Structure 1
Amino acid sequence: MTVYQLTGAIRPYAWGSRTVIADLQGRPSPSDAPEAELWLGAHPGDPSTVAAPDGPVSLDALIAGDPPAHLGAEVAGTFGARLPYLLKILAAEAPLSLQAHPDPDYAREAWARQQADPTLPRNYTDAHHKPEMLVALTPFEALCGFRAPHLAADDIEAMGIASLTPVVKALRDSDLRTAVELLLSWPAGDRTALVEAVVAAGTSRLAVDLAAHYPGDPGVLVALLLNHVRLKPGEAIWMPAGNLHAYLRGAGIELMAASDNVLRGGLTPKRVDVEELLKVLRFEVLDDPLLHSEEVAPGVQTWRVPVPDFVLYRITLDGTRPPTEVPAAGPRVIVATAGDVFVGEAVDGTPVELTPGRAAYAPAEAGRIKLAGSGVAFVAAVP
């Protein structure tokens, strides 16, 4: 088994940047359409393409042809014939939806119910959970997890909007569930007036910014219940099951379990199912939204997450040290974000060269791999 050049699929969501991914890859920019996410993995929604000896092939098809060789016996035994994670480069120019994802047990149950009853809303695309993490490549803003309710109560009360008094009371009582339910179930005919009153109050820059993108959306108010996180490049956030979150702007490396189960609550033109979202939300305060890193070897940084599906490493090469071994076996996806990085050996025996925005795939049977050169690369793997 060798290391393969990997070509990802670009998702043209409307909130995406027309310059970030193109500039990273050295392509002309702005691009013709928004480029929101570069998918690097085997998710059936948009699998990457591998430069195999017999010609290009999708990564999911390559893995399905010999799961033990590509995944390793342990990963294949745990997750079946699928890559359990999806790596992305994300570039947000406008806010994404308020959303959360189910835990593993609920995802399995909800998927089974949906499959058995065709009259149910089609909220789920698979039977898997979707915890995710993001490491900022640029200054990055996000909403991540509930903050202390009394702080949100102070901000909403300062607006002086009488109709929001029940929301303020719920927050004073530390009743996040009721506060969220009140806002997301606000009468449709009164929503525009409510958001206009919030904007007119002028006490929240965040609310004003979100209302400019989503006028009349009660998610503008729900956003004020969440931690407003501003990441510097290299800082990270963790979004476990039931965590209400939304990305606002910036570019980052995102790694998640390979699922597309998303429950939306607002700040989106897409379908919103408040009733189902409330079933998966965890109404608990997230005191520290940041996911802190640790150095596990010279130039090798990781972020510990409490799930078996994935682990992320950032490897910094300065051109002076010997090649750096990736501290992971099994299936690995590698993407460079700076410099000139060389990975393992291709079918012709030469290392695979990665410039920024380019990726490679190393199957389990490739064994331990090393990175050389001068630059920065992120490696997704299974713990």
Structure 2
Amino acid sequence: MKFVDEAIIKVHAGDGGNGCISFRREKFIPFGGPDGGDGGTGGSVWLVADEGLNTLIDFRHQRSFKAQRGQNGMGSDMYGKGGEDTTIRVPVGTVVTNVDTDEQIGDLTSHGQRLLVAQGGKGGLGNIHFKSSVNRAPRKSTPGTPGELRELKLELKLLADVGLLGFPNAGKSTFIRAVSAATPRVADYPFTTLHPNLGVVSLGTDQSFVIADIPGLIEGAAEGAGLGIQFLRHLARTRLLLHLVDVAPMDGSDVVEQVHAIEQELEKFDPELLGRPRWLVLNKADVLPEDERQAVAEDIVKRLGWTQPWFLVSAIARENTMAVCQQVQRFFEEQKQAREGRNDMLPGDVRLRGEDHN
């Protein structure tokens, strides 16, 4: 299925029903008082997150959604029926923005979460509300108010724990195939990956995480060059970035310069991304003689001044790939323990957990 991560739709809530002008007319009561009922409330438009969806492609075919109008009021004090709401299912991870104001309306991050995007109009008042001591037969009512009309931008941000980052053809798709059940397209030319791929890495009972492979970046991506800029947004939710590089590029380019180029694009797109935990994965070790691999890797790490964890792997031969995943799982578990530790501390207790005070 083609991956579509952005869509523009129009939503129109139902108008409120009009109030009614009516008078009570019964046998022996030819001039009864007003009995016009109120109009019903218009239906609203809601977005609902559905974990069964993973694309916005349906909105390529239907872009306009309208809720039901409220029924008009009627005589005999009968109020109009409210219009039915319209519910639109979207993937979990959808960010909703008002196109006219560029204001973010909501972020649907969990299954079943609902977001009101267009409020239905209020029903008009019937003439029973305008009776007074000086006007016993009011011929006045009010119309229903219009329902909200909005143009919305839907933007899907993948909910992944780990994001794979790197130049085209760095081996990201091969890596995700090696560590998960995902089967992205793999070939020996740039931009094999044209849409994000998600894979679940399972290391045992209750030990798993989601990894995302996005299209490779090129210099100028933050200004719109290449394909990667379309999907950089998916890195916004990841807790850890794995920066994959080809340890021995066939074109003879410098690995250190490649790493710096990606860092510049990250910083231009979102400086916060550059400060996120990012581990270096030197891929395609199998192209180097076995007795030279470690020295080449250590030289790259030294020239980079790299201080975070780094790994030397061969994704195609599945060498050391699971060791990376085990380290990632350990990292997440330590993060979880740290959060739980902070939550367990009593107010004012600033001791390090596990510290023994006699």
Same fold per superposition (TM over 0.5) = no
The interval holding the TM-score normalised by the smaller chain is: under 0.3
Question: TM-score, normalised to structure 1's length?
Answer: 0.21
Of Structure 1 and Structure 2, which has the larger fraction of its residues in strand? Answer: 1
TM-score normalised by structure 2 residue count: 0.22
Give 1 or 2 for the bigger CA radius of gyration.
2
